[in-house]
Structures are given as C-alpha cells and as structure tokens.
Amino acid sequence: MNSFGDHWVYTSFGESHSAAIGGVLDGVPAGMRIDFAMIRDALNRRAGRLSTAQLTNSVAHQQRSSLTAQLTNSAAVSPRAVREADEVEWLSGVIGANGEAAKDCSELITLGTPIAFLIRNRDARPEDYEALKHSFRQGHADFTYQAKYGVRDYRGGGRASARETAARVVAGNIAAQHLAQQGIHIQARLIRVGDETRPEHFDELIARYRAEGDSIGGIIACEVTGLPIGLGEPIFDKLQAHLAFAILSINACKGFDYGSGFEGVSQPGSVANQHSGGLLGGITDGTPLTFRCVFKPTPTTPKSLAQLQKEQLNAQMENAQMANGKIVNRSDTCIAVRAVPVVEAMTALVLADFVM
Amino acid sequence: MNSFGDHWVYTSFGESHSAAIGGVLDGVPAGMRIDFAMIRDALNRRAGRLSTAQLTNSVAHQQRSSLTAQLTNSAAVSPRAVREADEVEWLSGVIGANGEAAKDCSELITLGTPIAFLIRNRDARPEDYEALKHSFRQGHADFTYQAKYGVRDYRGGGRASARETAARVVAGNIAAQHLAQQGIHIQARLIRVGDETRPEHFDELIARYRAEGDSIGGIIACEVTGLPIGLGEPIFDKLQAHLAFAILSINACKGFDYGSGFEGVSQPGSVANQHSGGLLGGITDGTPLTFRCVFKPTPTTPKSLAQLQKEQLNAQMENAQMANGKIVNRSDTCIAVRAVPVVEAMTALVLADFVM
Amino acid sequence: MNSFGDHWVYTSFGESHSAAIGGVLDGVPAGMRIDFAMIRDALNRRAGRLSTAQLTNSVAHQQRSSLTAQLTNSAAVSPRAVREADEVEWLSGVIGANGEAAKDCSELITLGTPIAFLIRNRDARPEDYEALKHSFRQGHADFTYQAKYGVRDYRGGGRASARETAARVVAGNIAAQHLAQQGIHIQARLIRVGDETRPEHFDELIARYRAEGDSIGGIIACEVTGLPIGLGEPIFDKLQAHLAFAILSINACKGFDYGSGFEGVSQPGSVANQHSGGLLGGITDGTPLTFRCVFKPTPTTPKSLAQLQKEQLNAQMENAQMANGKIVNRSDTCIAVRAVPVVEAMTALVLADFVM
Amino acid sequence: MNSFGDHWVYTSFGESHSAAIGGVLDGVPAGMRIDFAMIRDALNRRAGRLSTAQLTNSVAHQQRSSLTAQLTNSAAVSPRAVREADEVEWLSGVIGANGEAAKDCSELITLGTPIAFLIRNRDARPEDYEALKHSFRQGHADFTYQAKYGVRDYRGGGRASARETAARVVAGNIAAQHLAQQGIHIQARLIRVGDETRPEHFDELIARYRAEGDSIGGIIACEVTGLPIGLGEPIFDKLQAHLAFAILSINACKGFDYGSGFEGVSQPGSVANQHSGGLLGGITDGTPLTFRCVFKPTPTTPKSLAQLQKEQLNAQMENAQMANGKIVNRSDTCIAVRAVPVVEAMTALVLADFVM
C-alpha cells in the first residue's frame, strides 16, 4: 500500500500534519557512498527554489548546487523560507565515512541495512484541521478520500499532499546515485507548457497564466543513458510497464508513453523513424531509454477558487506563501515544473529495482 | 515474473512451441457462474475472426456470438481454420452446474480453488526451431531475448509470441464476468487507425496498407461504467498506475493516458472540460473511467522483410496463414484491431483485483 | 494463496475431483537438465510404493530406482495399481535434449520460462460428491472448510486432499536437482515412530497399529549438506523461519525445530553440544543444516471410524484401497512414512529460492 | 527483507549504533484507539524490568502497570536506568483523541495511514565499533554476518541486536490491541526453564545458573482465545505455517509446535487427547489456539567468555549493565524470560494480518 519496489523497496510515511514525513529504503547494498549535496539539490528543485530555466535546462549538477547556495544565502529570501527548506534527518542504515554519526556528514556510507529518514513538518495546529474540514476543492482528491475513508479523511487526507513527493525525491536520489555509480544517468526536462515547446518561452507563458489567476499543464521528457542490455522481463514485468506504474503514481500525472508513443500512430510500420524508445519486448536494447509524461494544470486556481468562500481562500494562499516563498507560486501555476525531480526519482527507483 | 495481481492472481505459462499455453487464476470466489460462450467470443475477437467493424463497433455480445456462429459454420472458412480455434481445456477450479465434469458444460461454477486451464498448441516440429534460430526480426524482441537469455532464446523466445495473449483473454474474461455480475462493465473500442478517426473508414485504410505490404498503428479507448466510488489507493497504488502497468504489459503498446490525458496539456486549469477520467487522487470518483492506449504498427511487414532472405519470409507468411486464415492477415496489418479484447482482459484483471 | 516462494515460485492447482492436479514452477534458470527418473522415484516414495525400510533407509537413488522398477513389474501388484502411478504431463518450460517434445524424453532441459505440469485424476463421478457431502471426519479439515467456504466445500474441499502433495514433490524434486547440481544435497529420513527410534523396528510397530485399526505419529529428521555460508536474511527472513513455514504447510505436520531444538532446553549455555543446526542469526554457517518435524497419526482410523455409519466407512475404505493398493494402507497407519519425500520437496523449494 | 505481513505490514529499521530504531506499520484501519500504557507495559516486560514472577504469571495488565509505575519511581533503580526506558516517538499515522499532537497523549487514534515510530538510541561512539571489530562471539551471528556482508559487518551487524525486538513489541502491541477490541486475546507465558516446569521455582533456578556464570533455555506457551472460525488458508498459507514463520524469526528461538506437537508422537490416533491446537487443515476451528516455542540459552555466558581476552569481556559486561541495570542480568541468564512479549507481538502481527 505504501511500499514501492521488490528488491529496492521504498516505504513511505507521513501526513502534512503529522510530526514528520519520511521513508524507509530497503535493499540498498552495503558500502555505497551517498553525496548529500545531490539530494539537497533535488529537494530544492522539487520545492521550486530555482527559476524554471534553472530547473529545466540541462545545467550540470555543480552549477545548480552553486545556484542553490546563492539562493539560500540571498537577502531576497526571508529567513522563514530558509528555515522551511526540507532538512533530512537520517535515522538508520548510514554512517559517516569515518564512522561519525550521519547527521554531521556531507557524505554518507550505507550499511546494507534499511535506510530510514525523516523530514519534520512544521508544528501543526488543531485549527488547521478545521479549515480543511469544510472544503472540497474541485479536481482534488478531497471528495474521493472522504468517500473512501469516511469522516476522518480531513486528517488522513494529509497523505495526499504533494509534500509526500519530497520523501520520494530523497529515496529516488539515493537510487539515482547508485545507478550513476554504474554509468546509468537519468535526465528529465520540461519539453512543453500548454502549446509552447520552446523552453526559453516557458517562464513568460507561466507568468501570463499566473497573472490571470489560471494554471496550465506540461509535458516532461525523460532520457536514461548507460543502461545495460537485458533489463526487464518478457510478459507482465516489462520495463515500460513498471515505469508507467511509477510515473502514473505521481500526483497530477495523466499519461505516459515511450519511444514513438502516441505520436507514432500516424507512422506506417515501414517508416524508419519508428523508434523503440530503448525497449523491445519489454527489455532494454542498449539504446537510450526515452519516455514522456503529461501533468495536468493545478486544479485549484485563484480563478476557480473565486466561488469558494473568501476566508478559506485567503488561508490557503497564505499557507502556500508561508510554505514556499514567492518563487513557488509561479511553479504552482504549472506543477509540471516541480514534477521534474519527482519523475527522475521514480525512474531511478524502478531502474534500481531491476538492476538489483 | 509470470504472475499478475495481488488478490485475483493470474499466472501464465506456455511457449509457442510447447505442448500448451495456459494459466492459473487464483482468488476467484466460490460459486461464481462462468458463461463459456462469452470467453469464446473474446477469444474469437482476439484471433481476428470477425471483420473490423464487427470487432470494434459496440455490437452487443449476443449479436457477436451469432456472428461467431455463422463464421464458424461458414463454408468460406476452411475446416483447418475451424480446427485451429482456441479450445480451452479446464483442469481445475470449476465444475458444471450439475456437478458434471467441466469439459461437458457451457456454464461453469467456480469452486474457490485455483482455476487452471490450457489451450493446446499444434504439434511443434524440431525444424521450426531451426527456422527461428537464424532470424532477428527488425523491431521484435528477438534481439533483446538473445542478449538476455543467451543461445537458447530461439526456443524460450516462443514466450514472446502474441499467442500468450489468448490465455490473458481467458483469465481476463472470467474477471470481466465477475465484474459484470456486480454491474461493472468494460468496453474497449478502436478509435483511431493512423490519422483516421471515423470507424467506418478503418477497414478501407487497413486494406490499403495491407495492399502496400505495410502496417499502421492504432489507438484504443476503453470505458468502464458502474464502478463503486473508492477503488484505488492514495500513494503508489493509484488505480491509474495499476491500469497503466497492465496495459503497457501488452505487446506493441507504446502509451497510456486517462481523462484529459496528453491532449489536456493545452487546456488551462480553469477550463471546464478538464475531465477526471473517473479518478481523483488515484481513487474512483463514481464517474465513468476512461483511458486510451496506443499500439504501434506491426514491425515485421512484407515491405520491411523484403531485405531478408526469401525462404525465411515465405515460411513466416505460410505460418501466419496456417495459423489464422485469411481474415487475420488484415488484422495483422493493424495489430490494434486484435488488441481490443486484450485491453478489456487486462482492465478486468486489474479491477477484479481492486474489487476484491 | 496457492503460490510458494519469491524467486523460485511454485503455484499449485487441482482438486481430488478435478480433471488434474499440477503446478507452475517459475524462476527456474534456462539450460538446467532434469532427470525424470528421479522425479518418478520421489513420486513413488510419496505414493507409498516401497516398504518403510526401503523408503527410510539411506539407500542411494540408484538402488531405489531399481526397487521401483521391480515393484512396478511385480506380479504382486495389480495392473490397476500400476496404472494409478502418477504420470506427469509436461505442458511448457521444458524440451527434450535434442529438441524433441517433452513427453518423449527421460531427460528434459529447461527453457527459463514457466514449467507447467499436470497429473490427471481418475474420472470423478458425481456420486462421489454425494458421499463426501454428509461426512465430517474427526480431526480432518472437513469442518473448517465447511465453515470457511460454505455449502460448496465438499467439492472445493478436494483441495485438502493429500494428493496435492504429489505436485509439490514434482516441483520440489526439480529444485532438489538444481541444488544437487551445485553440490547441495537434501536427505530426510524417519527417525521415530511412536516411542520407537530403531528404524529396523518401524515396520513391525506400524503393522501392530494397523492390525489394531489404529494409527501412530512419527518424527522426520532432515539434513542438508553443501550449503554455502550466508544463505538467509537477518531479521524476518531467517532461513529457519522460511523452513518452518514450508514444513508446517504440509498436512498433518505439528511441529518443527532445528539444531538443539526442543531438547536443548535442558542444556546449559556452557555445554559444548549445543549445536547450531547449521544456522546462526538466521544465516547458514557452513555446517550441515539439521531440522526435525513431527507428523500426527492419521486421525481417521478404522477404530475411530467405528462410531460413524457403516456404509460411509465402507466407501472410504474401498476408495483408499482403489487409490493406493495394499502397500499404501500400511503407510497410512503412519503418514510420516509418506511425508519423507514431501519434506525433502518443501526444503528444496525454500533453498532454491534462497540460492537464487 | 525487513518487512513482515501482507495486509498489516510492519517494516523495521535501525541498528544498535544508528540514531534510532523503529518501524512503519501499514494497513492499520482508521479510527482505532491505541492505549499507550499497554505498549509501555509490553516494552517494560521486554526490557526485563519486572521480576520473572511478575513477568510470567497471568497478572492482569492493570496490575503490571502499577508494578511498572512502582519500579520506575523506585529509589532502587538508578536515574540512568530510568532514562534508558524505551521512549516511543510517533512520527505519523496517529493523532490525539482531541486532535492534539501525538506526543502529548496517552491515547492515540489511528488515521488509516502508515504509523511510523522510532526509539532513539543512546549516542554511539566510534570506539564502540572498534570493540566489536575484533570479536566473534561463540554461538552468535557475528561470524555469519561477517561472511555474508564482508568487512563492514561490525557496523551493519548492529541489526542483529536483540534491541530490534523492541520495535517489534511496539508494532505487535498495536496489533494486539486491535485484536483485543474484537475479542481476540493473546497470552504467552514461560512454562519451562531447563527441566523445571513449576513457575514458582523459575527465579531460583535462573539465579543458580547466573551465580555459576552460566545460562539456560526455556519454553514459552502461547494461547489465543476468541478467534473466529475460518482464519488461515488451505495449502501453503496455513495459519500454523505463518505462526511458525513469525516465531522462528525471533532471535534464539529453536523450535515451534502446536496442539499435541512433538509430544503427540507417542499417542496413537485413537486416543482422545490428541488435540488440534485450534487448527484443522490450517484453519482455525473455534477452539483456543495453542502453541509452544523454545529458546536456547544465551550463548555468551561469563563461563564461555572466560577464554576470550579479558579486556573485551569487561567492556561487554559493562555495556550490558549500563544498558539494562541489574534486573536485566538475571533475565539474560534465560532469554526466554524477555522473549515472552516478543512472542505475543509476533503472534499479534500474524493474526492481525489474517483478520484483515
């Protein structure tokens, strides 16, 4: 239910109002080195702490790390926002390279035992529950949760929060580092916002929708290089099936295709550019693996919220600002922007499972 | 590896050259009635035994059953082809309504124990192995199987045969009947062939590609009505994730989306026609569930095969004709045609698993 | 529910009144050679086709094979009994060493795909169901099945038949051959019948109980040699836990211990003969693995049945004789005798799973 | 690997030297009330904080709670020992009855989401690793861990610590409370120490062994009342098989039997006192479920350690005293004493899984 994978197993926990969110990652081999700066970089991208261009262009990790450092130190970011950055606390499964406790290290070494970690939530106040109690946001899971779990859903529903994806990013980044150490590299990027396909115009378009109090969808492309031939299983456990499962489990994702995908329907079988997407019969063929996925616009826009009662809206907007700072608001106009590191994380979890 | 599902578990076996293909379906409750004519109907659709119009239009089951009967009795179909129809042999888990052996019944009753069944293969001859030994068909799994399993793949590779989907159709149809008895109905249909979206023009277009020795892709839409609110789980086990996993496990499927899907990327969040596809937060919301999937063109076309050695081509074409009769050749020009009952079968397996 | 194992997965099917019992064995590597004579030997031991001495002494396989041949050809065994021998039909996953169909071979080669096999049941007659319908045998699962599954249990209950263990023996023997090819050997033997621990007195004691229309329990010891150091996992998946799970799943088994076991309770920690049983912390330590298990007496004895209505008793006795011939009756007095190859089979399935 | 159960899933994490040990419990229904005092009581029993008589007699929970309170406040217990009591920190999945944060409550309410909790370890110092590095304790997992995981095992090996069972007790006690709310009660007790079967003599015997620097094994009996008829599955998933799996996964457990068990081997089938142990054919029959399990003596006794180098011994003894105070030392002479609440916990986890 809250676990993912067979050999590299990630178990997730935490609600938006609980003491913490976090996870347990089981199956990681002993002796692997984990660079914590790379995890922080992925968390910052998920938190919308960089501009879209910074987030989506193929800037190297080193460059992004330095941007992150600037941002974190910038006077333009309130101390509150800095404090809110997702701090990972390591509970087990790792030690420092010199045997010191995990919390004091920038590089960790795995022990081969389950890696448990948490990210503390800010203090939850009982009145927060009340605010959520009477709201069914359009296009959100509020309604289905209420129907499925009954009266208590306004608290349990905290599980549906996008915040849960922060823990996925931590676990997935450990998997990505494991893969990178074997020469396998995962790179996702935003390739379309609305009808716009030129990256250099994305920010402008998103700003326009935001100014109108509206939101817009996006498409992410992901490429994986360095995969060995032979990953995947013939019948049900085709690699594309597991990738689709992983990607469609991300909030707001509405579709997945690979290789020639949906667009390939127009091309006859004899045409050369039918490309495999790196998979034949469910198994990697040694060429780069390529897939796409689509994210719907945020359903809760100021425009759509206009009909909801005023005070509730204000509370929500204030929460959003408190949580994320100004930059985030733009990202939330197009949630595909912040989904990029989550797509990479889920891809890494699937591939690490198969590589084991 | 060869099992699918958690509570309604389907285990598949058989190669194209083994004594039989078949499956074991575990988790089916005791006392359920199975109408064998409905299974036969689905198998005939998968075998391409009806015209595209008959296969893809929303004709009722009764009507199709009568078409099947006509076809089977028709003088135009050679006795050989009739003999080749997939005959299901029931090994366990079912008895006749009056306690008689399963083989003598048109209606079976489940015992609550694993339902095992098989479909015999025609006699395999050692020389068949030789023919496959030296062939790497373009765009097929031959290459990846060879790389993954080594020299023996030309025999084990029989597992990749589309024939395996016949057993999925049997298991899936039992699931579909179980769902139908609870008011849940699954209906897939071909909505696009190449760039053509008018069903009444599909046959003509497919015939044109076939005449040219070429092939073409297609898109299938599937709708499920009658689902209770609350199926699906919040985090990883979202219903759409499991459906994508199931559909992407079908040979030649290249993509899956639901609700507004890939096309929704152009629509701002405020637009009313953003539709949920029956799912919010991974959980059914009581509206019809709708998804689409795309199938690539057959990669092995006469046109693409021209460069392969002559005798090999002849053998393959002869095999194809022997196996399926003339009708099938058209279907194979657009494999999406025959995939329709397989999409329904996999959808039924997923939903039966969640309904349990 | 009807599957066993994680990487070497055995799925079981069949009722005592269905067309067949059988199984699907998934995860067996490609290219393994299977000696069918060894499977037949294990099936004969399970069927009680040898004397207790022959069954339980450490006679080599070759010797037993020759005994089996004598027995099968012996005039003392009715043609009917010979016909009843469990004939395995191979459906998939294996071919002959020279590419011929599996049914014609004494040695099979695996393809790396699921190995499906069946053993046909004799024709079931509807009146058999009636006989079972009104009987609750003391100490049998009849009562619990009725309570769990409802009215239909007298048919589904066929699943509880000891006949199901024949399919376990087939699957387990394939696993045992795989292990033997890696130098791992499993040997179970009967070490106690009632209070008797001298093997050469077992037959006499069993004969005495049989003459009295009574039954008696037994203890089986199993030793595995050649195991590599390091099999087993530290916390829940300790090797002894998986072995206990496997052995306790055999009908009539009431207990499992390993190493010093229950008898070790009297020995202080300082005493040298505290032996590990080949496992420390759940992981093999390179010394022979040793465990014991206990089987209760057959609960349905002529003595205990005396109080049941006469005609039912007669029908059951006749069935038992038809099914197994005279030799079996002695075995059924002490079901531990026939459980020996089943213990070996389940042990092999567990170990093959861990070796993978 | 570190998860247990199918529907009520417990995932364990933590080493003896990591920041914390803990677990995630998934599948607990929403709205269940958890009495934290009962969890604390079970943790205290596991920590050996009561006399053997207090621990093993059938004293009611209320009575034990009051003993615990006395003990905790007692001047005889050093402040250090009090501080060492296992403090559970709740991370997610529960809230206070009035919506307050979990940490402030004695009664918690579940949200239906994963319940994550941790118990902090005392600060680990690098020099602790060094001490362990050169020690292979006789009869411990040190050797097998080294062989399986390589050089790093002296850190990862912290996973084998009996401390891990504290987290099992927390998770299992939640399961036990869930079962108790449905009328199902689990009661384990020590029935034998060495050859002694009179509980009132256990303390004396254990004291004698302790005085000699030796250790002794014990047998625990467990009874479950109030189980509905029909729990368990016919073939592999027999309830006794799952119980054996759970119990044999506890450190130092060497055997499991149920009903008449190993002792039933001497009784003919006709004898009335063959008892089922509450299970027939793997399924509960409505009578109390009874099983036994045996725990070996602590292998590392002062007597056996005499041959190890002096300084190492001293360090270990000091550690043991620091960790547990004086009371514990007696328990460690017979680890079966402290295993009682662990047996109850594992039993509860299995039964909660089946009741779901």
User: In chain C, what residues touch D241 (CB-CB under 8 Å)?
Assistant: 244-246, 248-249
User: In chain D, what residues touch A113 (CB-CB under 8 Å)?
Assistant: 2, 13-15, 18, 156, 158-159
Predicted ipTM?
0.86
Query: Which two three-digit tokens encode residue B258?
Result: 């639901």
Q: What DSSP assignment string belongs to C256-290?
A: EEETTTGGGGGS-TT-TT---TTEETTEE-SSPEE
* Mean pLDDT, rounded, for B50-61: 48
Q: Average pLDDT for consecutive 10-residue bins of chain C (356 residues)?
A: 95 91 96 94 83 47 48 37 68 84 81 94 58 56 70 52 90 98 97 96 93 93 97 95 98 96 91 78 94 88 53 45 38 86 98 95
d(CA B46, CA B166): 7
Rg for chain D (alpha carbons), in Å?
A: 20
CA atoms within 13 A on the CB side of A23: 24
Cβ contact D158:D15 at 8 Å: yes
Q: Please, which residues bridge with residue B110 across strands?
A: B94
Cβ contact D222:D290 at 8 Å: yes
Nearest partner of C140 among D270, D282, D260, D273, judged by Cα: D282
Q: Are strands B279-280 and B283-284 parallel, antiparallel or unpaired?
A: antiparallel
Of D248, D281, D294, the CB nearest to C262: D294
Q: What does the pLDDT profile of chain A (356 residues) look like in tens digits?
A: 899 999 999 999 998 888 999 999 999 999 999 999 999 999 999 987 555 555 444 444 545 545 444 444 433 333 333 334 688 999 999 988 777 777 767 889 998 999 999 999 875 554 555 545 555 555 667 677 767 766 444 444 567 677 899 999 999 999 999 999 999 999 999 999 999 999 999 999 999 998 888 999 999 999 999 999 999 998 999 999 999 999 999 999 999 999 999 999 988 988 755 678 999 989 999 999 999 999 999 876 666 555 444 444 444 444 444 333 333 344 478 999 999 999 999 999 999 999 98
3-class SS of residue A139: coil
Query: Which two three-digit tokens encode residue C94?
Result: 């294996």
Query: Which two three-digit tokens encode residue C329?
Result: 């009756």
pLDDT for the residue D78 = 35
Of C215, C244, C262, the CB nearest to D244: C244
pLDDT for the residue D241 = 98
d(CA B190, CA B218): 7
* Mean pLDDT, rounded, for B258-276: 85
DSSP state of A197: -
CB within 8 Å: B152 and C19: no
pTM here?
A: 0.88
pLDDT for the residue B133 = 54
- Chain C: residue nearest B118 by CA? C91
Rg for chain B (alpha carbons), in Å?
A: 20
Q: What's the pLDDT tens digit per position in C141-174?
A: 767 776 776 644 444 456 767 789 999 999 999 9
Q: How far is residue D322 from each of residues B99, C309, D21, measured CA to CA in Å? A: 70, 69, 18
Q: How far is residue B129 from each of residues B149, B155, D19, D203, measured CA to CA in Å? A: 16, 6, 59, 74
Cβ contact C298:C314 at 8 Å: no
User: In chain A, what residues touch D89 (CB-CB under 8 Å)?
Assistant: 19
Q: What's the pLDDT tens digit per position in B203-219?
A: 999 999 988 889 999 99
Q: What's the pLDDT tens digit per position in B128-180?
A: 555 555 555 556 676 777 677 664 444 445 676 778 999 999 999 999 999 99
Please state, as a whole number, how many other Cβ atoms lie within 10 Å of the Cβ of residue D241. Answer: 25
Nearest partner of C287 among C246, C343, C229, C232, judged by Cα: C229
Cβ contact C166:C86 at 8 Å: yes
| Chains interfacing with D (3 or more CB pairs < 8 Å) | A, C
Question: What backbone phi and psi angles, to 5 degrees, belong to C101?
Answer: -65, 150
Q: Please, which residues bridge with residue C223 across strands?
A: C187, C290
Q: Which residues contact D347 (CB under 8 A, 6 or more apart)?
A: D172, D186, D188, D222, D224, D243, D246, D247
| Chains interfacing with C (3 or more CB pairs < 8 Å) | B, D
pLDDT for the residue A172 = 98
Angle at D257 between CA D254 and CA D258, to 5 degrees: 155
User: In chain C, what residues touch D218 (CB-CB under 8 Å)?
Assistant: 265
Cβ contact A112:A31 at 8 Å: yes
Question: What backbone phi and psi angles, to 5 degrees, belong to D35?
Answer: -90, 115
Q: Please, which residues bridge with residue A257 across strands?
A: A292, B255
Cβ contact D186:D221 at 8 Å: no
Q: At what angle do helices B202-211 and B310-333 cross, to 10 degrees?
A: 170
Among C6, C15, C16, C280, the strongest candidate for a mutation testing the D interface, having the largest count of D CBs within 10 A, is C280
Q: Which residues contact C205 (CB under 8 A, 6 or more apart)?
A: C193, C194, C196, C216
Q: Which residues contact A304 (CB under 8 A, 6 or more apart)?
A: A138, A139, B269, B270
Q: What is the mean pLDDT of chain C?
A: 80
Query: Which two three-digit tokens encode residue C217?
Result: 């329990």
d(CA B202, CA B218): 10
Q: How far is residue D262 from each of residues A130, C266, C275, measured CA to CA in Å? A: 59, 16, 19
Q: Which region, left, alpha or beta, applies to residue A131 given φ > 0 means left and ψ of -120 to 50 means alpha? A: alpha
Q: How far is residue D156 from each of residues A43, A103, C326, D17, D124, measured CA to CA in Å? A: 28, 17, 58, 9, 14
**Chain A: nearest CA to D193, how far in angstroms?**
34
d(CA A41, CA A67): 10
Q: How far is residue C50 from each of residues B102, C253, C317, C331, C336, measured CA to CA in Å? A: 35, 22, 21, 9, 14
Question: What backbone phi and psi angles, to 5 degrees, belong to D140?
Answer: -100, 175
Q: Are strands C253-258 and A88-92 parallel, antiparallel or unpaired?
A: unpaired
* Mean pLDDT, rounded, for D50-56: 50
Among D17, D91, D152, D353, the strongest candidate for a mutation testing the A interface, having the largest count of A CBs within 10 A, is D91
Nearest partner of B145 among A228, A260, A287, A285, judged by Cα: A285
Of C15, C31, C103, the CB nearest to B152: C31
Cβ contact D94:D109 at 8 Å: yes
Cβ contact A3:D10 at 8 Å: no
Cβ contact C49:C71 at 8 Å: yes
Q: Please, which residues bridge with residue C220 across strands?
A: C190, C293
Please state, as a whole number, how many other Cβ atoms lie within 10 Å of the Cβ of residue C218. Answer: 28
Q: What DSSP assignment string belongs to C31-74?
A: T-EEEHHHHHHHHHHHTT-S-HHHHHS---HHHHHHHHHHHHH-
Q: Which region, left, alpha or beta, applies to residue D248 given φ > 0 means left and ψ of -120 to 50 means alpha? A: alpha
Nearest partner of A193 among A331, A325, A303, judged by Cα: A331
CB within 8 Å: D1 and A24: no
> What stretch of H or E contains A209?
helix A202-211
Q: Which residues contact D149 (CB under 8 A, 6 or more apart)?
A: A30, A112, D156, D157
- Chain C: residue nearest B119 by CA? C91
Of A215, A218, A261, the CB nearest to B255: A261
CB within 8 Å: D20 and A111: no
Q: What's the residue count for chain A?
A: 356
Query: Which two three-digit tokens encode residue C227?
Result: 């195991």
- Chain C: residue nearest B91 by CA? C19
